[in-house]
Structure 1
Amino acid sequence: MSVDLEHIRAIDDPFELLRVVTGRLADAQREVTELARLRRGVVQDLHAKGMSYAQIAEAAGLSRGRIHQIRQSGPAPEGAFLGIGGVIVATPLRQDAPGARTVVAVDDVTSGKRLEDLARSLGLDVTSEHVPVSGDLDLNRDGLIAVCGPRMSEDMEATYGRDPILRWEKQGDEPWALRDTRTGVVHRSGMDEDPARSQDVGYLGRLPRPDGEGLVLTIAGIHTPGSLGVVHLLANDLAQLFGRVGTKGFSTLVGVEFDPDTHEPRNVELLTPLYLHDGS
């Protein structure tokens, strides 16, 4: 029996015992899930590098049947793109005018809900929260997914400023735009044109936290359809994205053509490469 388990069994207060055991069971289940995800990923990687399942089984000292079982069961490795064990999905509250009622944009709600569903389907625990109107957001947390642009939060604006390649830009009364400093191309939303087009630009990146102790997954559109487009990309191409950037720091821009009535994405494509950041 482990020392920790002996200490738990020695707890006299039944309510404290119940609380501690429940918490430890939850932690243990998350660890089991992530170990199974890691194991399946190792088998897939070895097979992708040219090893047969029989060779993998022999080298690992396991049966071929067990290797096939591992390959077909357990949570998908690409879930690690979103987080390890669990994620926190944060979407912004909005206030159209000082003193006005606080609201949430329908597109933000939809983006958040679809991210939560995606994370759960990958075996991750999910919690959700709102970025308050003040824009204050604790970014120094593992598993945080911030669906929030620089306009809604100074904390997020500072975080986007840590991207070494892609820049959010705004001058005076001009609308926000995104600049690719590698090519010099400035990407603007079709919604800001005259006449307006049903096209937007979304940002997807994994950027350094303020405390320097990790990375935070960031999603934002110049307008809200851009965020919906990024989430659509994640839901449909997560395995490919994970295969190319893993859990490293990166950023990219996404072009989104959408239905003008529902804002549902019709066509989503990468506008830039998946830029891996130095030091990741």
Structure 2
Amino acid sequence: MNELQRVRDTSEPLERVRLATETLADYQSAIAELGKIRRDTVDYLRSQGMTLSEIADKAGVSRARLSQLSTVTKKAPERAIFSDGSPITIAVDTKQEGESGRPVVHQEHTAAIDILNRTARRLGLDVSEVEYIVPPGLIDLNRDGLVVVCGPRRSPLIAQMLAADERYGFEKDADGWHLLDKASGQRFRSPEDLGKPGDYAYLGRLPRPDGRGYWLYMAGIHAPGGQGAAMYLERELGDLYKDVKAGRWSCLVECGWNPATRQIDRVELLAPIHQPGRQSARQRRK
């Protein structure tokens, strides 16, 4: 735990943020690897004829915890929204902090990483890496199991890929960034820009540039929207899969938070789930 103590002992606030972010990423990678080792070992022991109860008793761990682990390894079909089984890479954008100019991750995006990690583990998928997108926003989108949390203002490449969505997208005008329903022409401007505790986000599964699969994408007009999209995905994953299976789709999500704590306490669909080739987008329950 030397890294944790080093973060605690760092007195300069911006340096502490940087070290905490880097250390958290290292710990998340270690947790993912330890989870894989444990699952593989349990699978091996079961292949040798041991029951979960026997493994729990002899290893001195909770039977209930191993039972939860066993349900993960059954490969829930909705995991196809994330990956075909390949390890997941989560890529998040960064901003340059004040005087130091160092790239840092929004607090809300760190929360989104935690939510995506938790969802992936529940599905039996491993998060192999957390990748940080720095200016000018270049990223390799031709990878299996890629999840991106990055607004188009941080990456012209992301903006270019979003332009291919015939239904939803981001747009910027004299009043700032907003989300657009291209079919109706309706513009969704973030409540946060009006001083209200809320934000809007884009959430979708988009085709890779090489045409050999898809990548999962989410981003808010502001950083809280990305966290809200991750929360909506976690909560609605089963129903989303029933609707869209492993195809291409997109939707808009709304989130709200407690003004006193800035903790997000509400996520719901803002605009219907759209799939190319369907006459109209479908409205999921809120």
* TM-score, reference length from structure 1: 0.70
**1:180 deviation in Å?**
0.6
CA contact (8 A) 2:201 2:229 kept: yes
1:230 equivalent in structure 2:
229
2:81 equivalent in structure 1:
81
Q: Between Structure 1 and Structure 2, whose CA radius of gyration is higher?
A: 1
2:122 equivalent in structure 1:
121
* TM-score, reference length from structure 2: 0.68
**1:132 deviation in Å?**
1.8
1:159 equivalent in structure 2:
161
Gaps (5+ residues) in structure 1?
A: 1-25, 33-69
SS at structure 1 position matched to 2:173: coil
Asked if 1:208 is matched to 2:207, the reply is yes
Paired with 2:100 and 2:277, the residues of 1 have a C-alpha distance of 44
1:137 equivalent in structure 2:
139
Amino acid at match of 2:74: G
Deviations along 1:147-196, whole A, 9 cap, x unmatched?
11101111111111111111211024x22111112222111101111xx0
Amino acid at match of 2:216: L
Paired with 2:261 and 2:102, the residues of 1 have a C-alpha distance of 24
Paired with 1:73 and 1:120, the residues of 2 have a C-alpha distance of 10
Paired with 1:71 and 1:205, the residues of 2 have a C-alpha distance of 27
1:184 equivalent in structure 2:
185
CA contact (8 A) 1:169 1:178 kept: yes
CA contact (8 A) 2:149 2:219 kept: yes
CA contact (8 A) 1:93 1:102 kept: yes
Between the two proteins, the alignment pairs up a number of residues equal to: 211
Paired with 2:96 and 2:104, the residues of 1 have a C-alpha distance of 6
Deviations along 1:60-113, whole A, 9 cap, x unmatched?
xxxxxxxxxx99971221111111212111111211468612211111111012
Deviations along 1:217-263, whole A, 9 cap, x unmatched?
11000011111111111121110011101111111001111123443
SS at structure 1 position matched to 2:80: helix
1:94 equivalent in structure 2:
95
CA contact (8 A) 1:209 1:215 kept: yes
Paired with 1:229 and 1:93, the residues of 2 have a C-alpha distance of 18
Amino acid at match of 1:120: R
1:46 equivalent in structure 2:
none
Gaps (5+ residues) in structure 2?
A: 1-36, 44-69, 279-286
CA contact (8 A) 2:168 2:182 kept: yes
Amino acid at match of 2:76: A
Instruction: Please identify runs of 4+ aligned residues in structure 1 that moved more than 4 A.
Output: 70-73, 96-99
Counterparts in 2 of 1:197 and 1:212: CA distance versus 1, 3 Å:
same
SS at structure 2 position matched to 1:129: strand
Paired with 1:132 and 1:190, the residues of 2 have a C-alpha distance of 27
**1:116 deviation in Å?**
1.3
CA contact (8 A) 1:81 1:247 kept: yes
Paired with 1:250 and 1:152, the residues of 2 have a C-alpha distance of 23
Amino acid at match of 1:151: R
CA contact (8 A) 2:103 2:134 kept: no
1:248 equivalent in structure 2:
247
Counterparts in 2 of 1:80 and 1:262: CA distance versus 1, 3 Å:
farther
Counterparts in 2 of 1:188 and 1:125: CA distance versus 1, 3 Å:
same
Deviations along 1:33-73, whole A, 9 cap, x unmatched?
xxxxxxxxxxxxxxxxxxxxxxxxxxxxxxxxxxxxx9997
CA contact (8 A) 2:81 2:205 kept: no
Paired with 1:224 and 1:261, the residues of 2 have a C-alpha distance of 18
